[in-house]
Amino acid sequence: RPGVIVRAFGEARAGATGLEIYHPEYRLSGGSETPVEEYYTPIYPTTEGLHQTRLRALTQQALRLLEQAPETLPDVIPDALRQRFQLPGLHASLQLLHQPPPDVDLEQLAHGLHPATRRLALEELLAHQLSLREVRLRIQADGAPELPSGRSLQTRFLAQLPFALTGAQRRVLEEIALDLARPAPMLRLVQGDVGSGKTVVAAMAALSALAGNCQAAMMAPTEILAEQHYRSFKAWFEPLGIEVAWLAGKLKGKARLDAKAAIADGRARMVVGTHALFQGDVHFQCLGLAIIDEQHRFGVHQRLALREKGEAGGLTPHQLIMTATPIPRTLAMSAYADLDVSV
């Protein structure tokens, strides 16, 4: 219609005749009096069936509700902390990020450096820390088997090895031994490069569990890695008279039934496998130590599921987590706030 002003917007790209916008969004204006919006139009990550227009409408509705009843979303960051880092309040941050004013620093927004973005990031980190701390407190309130050092078994095991333990391995083993001797569940992350001997440390810890008449289980993220661990433990432990079981998704039929039976009745004192270990039909006689390789490949829920396998007897198994991923100590304290860290 003559006289109608169409405002089109979208991603501009260079075309054969100049700038082009493919599939633009548009709004009809009644005339030159129609004001330009007072803020930038946000672009949200979309999912099938949920269009940008709908997302924006929901966001604007939420912001209006927040303005009418600000007490429904309290600001959990203390004023002193916000002032220290020069961060805006929660409501102001949400308003700015969803309705950026024309004079906002777009470079800061694009690179996540704007104080409003940092304010929300701080709250996410705080929630993460508090949730992991809560997990740790709940777990440590449970009882755990007090495991001896297993020195006799460990001495026989070390005599088989063609090498001596390094100073770092001995130091980490001392930390683990102190944890295992306590009546509270161990929650320890062991970080070391590939080839640094983490598996030997795990084997020594497992022998403490076996010496305490408990079982030990080691879970790896892939069948290839789990099978490598199984071969190592089988070669190390069977000469000591310790039966080692293997359980993974590819194990089928009678072999799977036999493995589950050996785990349930305690014949298999050392168990190695994948996520199949925490499936509902797998039962341990007495799981004293859960060893998890490459923690970042498993979620917290999977870790907790394996822990629950040992709770049938009223005690929570100790947990030893291993990773070869280099993690700065300060980051480890944030990402794994529920764990003690050994390097």
The model's confidence at residue 6, banded by pLDDT at 50, 70 and 90, is confident
Q: 4 pLDDT exceeds 90? A: no
Q: Is 28 exposed, middle or buried (0-12, 13-18, 19+ CB in 10 A)?
A: exposed
Check residue 77 and report its DSSP letter.
Answer: S
Whether the predicted pLDDT of 287 surpasses 80: yes
Could you report the per-residue pLDDT of 157-168, keeping only the tens digit for each?
Answer: 999 999 999 999
Q: What is the 3-state secondary structure (H, E, C) of 283-318?
A: CCCCEEEEEEECHHHCCHHHHHHHHHCCHHHCCCCE
247 half-sphere exposure, CB direction, 13 A CA radius: 27
Mean pLDDT, the chain, integer? 85
* C-beta pairs of 81-87 under 8 Å, 24+ apart in sequence: 82/119, 85/118, 85/122, 86/115, 87/115, 87/118, 87/119, 87/122
Domains of the chain are 37-138 (no CATH), 143-342 (3.40.50.300)
Contact 96, 88 (CB under 8 A): yes
* Structure letter (DSSP) for residue 187: E
13-22, 69-78, 172-181: segment of lowest average pLDDT: 13-22
- The token duo for 114 is 């704007």
CA atoms of 87 and 154, how far apart (whole Å): 54
CA distances from 323 to 86, 111, 187, 272, 296 (A): 36, 30, 14, 17, 8
Query: In whole angstroms, what is the distance from residue 234 CA to residue 213 CA?
Result: 19
CB 209 within 8 A of CB 186: no
Rg (CA), the chain: 28
- From CA 238, how far away is CA 90, in angstroms rounded? 59
Q: Would the pLDDT of 84 be above 60?
A: yes
Q: Cβ distance 87 to 114 under 8 Å?
A: no
Instruction: Find the DSSP H helices in the chain.
Output: 52-68, 79-84, 90-98, 106-110, 115-140, 151-160, 167-180, 198-211, 223-237, 253-265, 300-308, 329-335
How far are the Cα atoms of 132, 216, 281, 284, 326 from residue 270, in angstroms, in the given order?
29, 5, 18, 11, 28
Q: Is the pLDDT of residue 225 over 80?
A: yes
Neighbouring CB atoms inside 10 A of 71's CB total 6
Residues 108-144: tens digit of each pLDDT: 999 999 999 999 999 998 888 888 888 778 877 778 8
Q: Both tokens of residue 187?
A: 């929650």
Section 260-284 average pLDDT: 91
Confidence at residue 127, expressed as pLDDT on a 0 to 100 scale: 87
Which are the contacts of 224, defined by CB distance < 8 A and separation ≥ 6?
Answer: none
pLDDT the model gives residue 42: 85
pLDDT for position 118: 94
